[in-house]
Amino acid sequence: MAKKLLLIGDNMKVKEFASVLQNSANIAIANDVKTGLIMAKEIVPDGIIFVVPVYWENILPFLEEIKKDDLLKLKPIIYVGDFIEASDQTILKGKGVHTITLGPVPPQEIARYILSLI
């Protein structure tokens, strides 16, 4: 049975990841954190992936809400970005979020790694 993944972001990277992951998972896409929280509670995905290419989007309130939900609190959350500052990585990892910094790695390899985490 294919995994259900929720991708959150509003950029070309989300579409790129969705196209790579769609052969291995059922994909839902939310354009922002608020919509992502609503969708997460509705579909209860196997994993939540934030695809934020450059700028930090505050996902801490989202994480706090997810941790209150018995159906979602143990689901893996992954934050993928072009640049993730060390302080942001520390905060995210402290909240149980896996972080992936994009580099010269093909999207297919990153998708394979993401699926291994879920």
Domain contains 10: no
Per the domain annotation, does 5 fall within a domain? no
Residue 33 CA, distance from chain mean position: 11
Nearest to 3 by CA among 34, 55, 49: 49
Q: Measuring CA to CA, which residue among 117, 118, 112 is closest to residue 21? A: 112
In a domain, 32, yes or no: yes
How many separate domains does the chain show? 1
pLDDT band, very low/low/confident/very high, at 69 (cuts 50, 70, 90): very high
Structural domain contains residue 28: yes
Q: How far is CA 24 from CA 6, 28, 59, 108, in A?
A: 13, 13, 26, 11
- Residue 87 domain-assigned (yes or no): yes
Write out pLDDT tens, residues 11-65.
777 888 888 888 889 999 998 888 999 999 999 999 999 987 556 678 889 999 9
Within a domain: 54 = yes
Query: Are 54 and 10 in contact, with CB atoms under 8 Å apart?
Result: no
What is the extent of the structural domain holding 60?
Answer: 24-99
